[in-house]
Amino acid sequence: GRVRHYKWEVKYEFKSPDCYKKLAITINGRTPGPSIIAQQGDTIIVELKNSLITENVAVHWHGIRQVGTPWFDGSEGVTQCPILPGDSFVYKFVVDRPGTYLYHAHYGMQREAGLYGSIRVSLPDGESEPFWYDYDRSIILADWYHASTYEQAAGLSSIPFVWVREPQSILIQGKGRFDCNAPGIQAGLCNATNPECTPYALTVIPQKIYRLRIGSLTALSALSFEIEGHNMTVVEADAIFNYYPNHPRRNPPTVPPPGPRWNDTEPRLAQSIAMKSHKGYIHPPPQTSDRVIVMLNTQNLINGNVRWSINNISYNLPHTPYLIALKYNLTHAFDPSPPPDGYNFVNYDIYSVAKNVNATTSTGIYRLKFNTTVDIILQNANIRTPNNSETHPWHLHGHDFWVVGYGKGKFDKTKDPKNYNLVNPIRKNTVAVHPYGWTALRFRADNPGVWAFHCHIESHFFMGMGVVFEEGIEKLGSLPTSIMGCGDTKGFHRP
Ligand code: C2O
Ligand code: CU
């Protein structure tokens, strides 16, 4: 493969992606940042300079497995120390499989300040997908808040709790539209004619086939993306699907069709269940598993703070990254007791507000035996308000998993596994857990390293909705010193 070298400067800049001026984190002046375009087998080198002045940073390559380079996964506290203001850090990894991936900040809640972009990995020369297209386009969907990530993080961790609430805008490829006439907007902050908030327009040529790579990096929202029947010109909310040579500034002539209601989860569950691997592209999972971990997702009060917990443990990131702590036996770096593999099934009522859950916070992790097959069942439940259960998109670093089952209600260990799809399940790295439901996934613990597994809703992970897996770290050679320098690794000097 070839080497693709990128030089990035990460910085706060005033931007008006939805016409409202606020600080955004940019890469080389842009948000979304530059796309990484590569071919299978290429080596990506990103030289990142942190010019944020007062904030650390780390960047995660979402969906890239980092086989042999777990230290460049970019999850702060898990695989590396944060990159300090003024410092540079070099990420170097191989994109070993074709596909559509994303990258985004993995420090605090910086992702929603705009630090993200897309990665497109094409097939090797001479190979092609089983479908034809004339053009290939990437579109990133995101939601956008006018409050700073600091303000949001402070609210989430204070007593009384301050929720981030709904985003102010939805961004399509970094463009959105806030109503500048909304009450309470300070004069001069919002300018509807600012060219920075000109809606994203995709100009297309009739009869040509477009491949759209849609990625969602929303902080909170679950979005549906549609492009109505071929003769329609409107796709969704702010996007303009424009037939050349119409002027891209002209508004679409029809209003967007109504989609399912935001809280109507039935179509989403049905869609999840309907997805199967395509014939000819089926990679069946191992037919049995060595370990089953059931993860009950709950919302609790811990010392007066609202937190998310998995089996009554709310996750906290340590100051010393696990990868370094485990490799160098820094035994005080994190809680040595692992979180539990399950919870009390018999007595737990997922439909009511949990009264006495005794949840605690911990930095403990799951240690997986190398090359074993692991089943994870994510069990959803009622939150702290009655008759309420939310959707959680869980993302696993370092692996793809097979989604072997979905169900409503409480997972039944004896009955439900019999209905797993072990024939043609799809492989993913992010999967939804629907309200009051469960999702079962299976993966091979075959990638030496330490890997985060967490809800991708920015505020949920911040509030403890995640776990960490370790597998095969004894197989790893020496770690690059560039990932060190924080917590108990302070004496381990960076070059
Ligand atoms: Cu895309 Cu740990 O996240
Ligand atoms: Cu969540």
Check if the beta carbon of residue 353 is closer than 8 Å to that of residue 385. Answer: yes
In a domain, 278, yes or no: no
> Could you list which residues have their CB under 5 Å from ion ligand 2?
392, 455, 457, 460
Q: Is the CB of 444 under 6 A from ligand 1?
A: no
Indicate whether 33 belongs to any domain.
Answer: yes
361-389 pLDDT tens trace: 999 999 999 999 999 999 999 999 999 99
Which tokens sit at 430? 């992010």
Q: Same domain for 144 and 66?
A: yes
Both 332 and 448 in one domain: the answer is: yes
Q: Radius of gyration over alpha carbons of the chain, in Å?
A: 23
Enumerate long-range contacts of 122-129, CB under 8 Å, 24 or more apart: 122/37, 122/38, 122/39, 122/40, 122/98, 123/39, 123/40, 123/98, 124/39, 124/40, 124/41, 125/39
H or E element in which residue 299 lies? strand 291-302
CATH of the domain at 49: 2.60.40.420
DSSP H/E element including 462 = helix 458-462
277 falls within a domain:
no
Our answer on whether the CB atom of 104 is closer than 6 Å to any ligand 1 atom is yes
DSSP 415: T
Return the ligand number nearest the Cα of 454. 1
pLDDT for 246: 41
> Is residue 17 one of the residues assigned to a domain?
yes
Model confidence pLDDT, tens digit, residues 34-83: 999 999 999 999 999 999 999 999 999 999 999 999 999 999 999 999 99
Q: How far, in Å, is the centroid of ligand 1 from the Cα of 65?
A: 12
The answer to whether residues 28 and 134 belong to one domain is yes
Q: Which ligand is nearest to the CA of 457?
A: 2
Q: Are residues 137 and 78 in the same domain?
A: yes
Q: Is 410 in the pocket of ligand 1 (CB under 6 A)?
A: no
Give me the domain span that covers residue 214.
3-223+225-259
pLDDT at 244: 41
Residues 239 and 316 in one domain: no
**Identity (one letter) of the amino acid at 206?**
P
- Are 297 and 255 members of one domain? no
Give the number of other CB atoms < 10 A from CB of residue 393: 16
> Is any atom of ligand 1 closer than 6 Å to the C-beta of 11?
no
Please count the structural domains in the chain.
2
Q: Is residue 205 part of a domain?
A: yes
User: Do both 202 and 338 map to the same domain?
Assistant: no
Query: Where among 259, 283, 315 does a domain terminate?
Result: 259
- 378 within a domain of the structure (yes/no): yes
Q: Ligand 1 pocket, 460 CB below 6 A?
A: no
Last residue of a domain, one of 206, 236, 259: 259
Residues of the chain with pLDDT under 50: 230-248, 495
Last residue in a domain, options 259, 282, 313: 259
Q: Do 55 and 99 reside in the same domain of the chain?
A: yes
> Can you tell me the ipTM of this complex?
0.97
Q: Which ligand is nearest to the CA of 460?
A: 2
CA distance 364 to 343: 16
Residue 247 lies inside a defined structural domain of this protein: yes
CB 455 within 8 A of CB 109: no
Cα–Cα distance between 59 and 65 in angstroms, integer?
14
Neighbours of 219 (CB within 10 A): 22
pLDDT of residue 229: 55
The CB density around residue 184, as the number of other CB atoms within 10 Å, is 4
Q: What is the pLDDT of residue 241?
A: 35
Same domain, residue pair 362 and 471? yes
Any alpha helices (H) in 232-317, and if so which ranges? 266-274
* Spatial separation of the C-alpha atoms in residues 31 and 13, rounded to whole Å: 10
Both 306 and 236 in a single domain?
Answer: no
Q: Are residues 243 and 299 in the same domain?
A: no
> What's the pTM value of the predicted model, to 2 decimals?
0.92
**Close Cβ partners of 453 (under 8 Å, ≥ 6 residues apart):** 376, 394, 395, 396, 397, 466, 467, 468, 469
**Residue 249: Cβ within 10 Å count:** 10
**Residue carrying the six token digits 């120390």:** 81
Q: What spacing in Å lies between the alpha carbon of 229 and ligand 1's midpoint?
A: 33
* Distance in Å, CA 395 to ligand 1 centroid: 6
Distance between CA 165 and CA 459 in Å, rounded?
10
Does residue 283 lie in a domain region? no
Residue 228 is predicted with a pLDDT of 61
Claim to verify: residue 312 and residue 231 sit in the same structural domain: no
| Number of other residues whose CB lies within 10 A of the CB of residue 84 | 16
Q: Is 21 in the pocket of ligand 1 (CB under 6 A)?
A: no
State whether the beta carbon of 75 lies less than 6 angstroms from ligand 1: yes
Cα four-point dihedral sign 336, 342, 344, 348 = positive
Q: Specify the ligand 1 atom closest to the Cα of 102.
A: 1
pLDDT of residue 265: 77
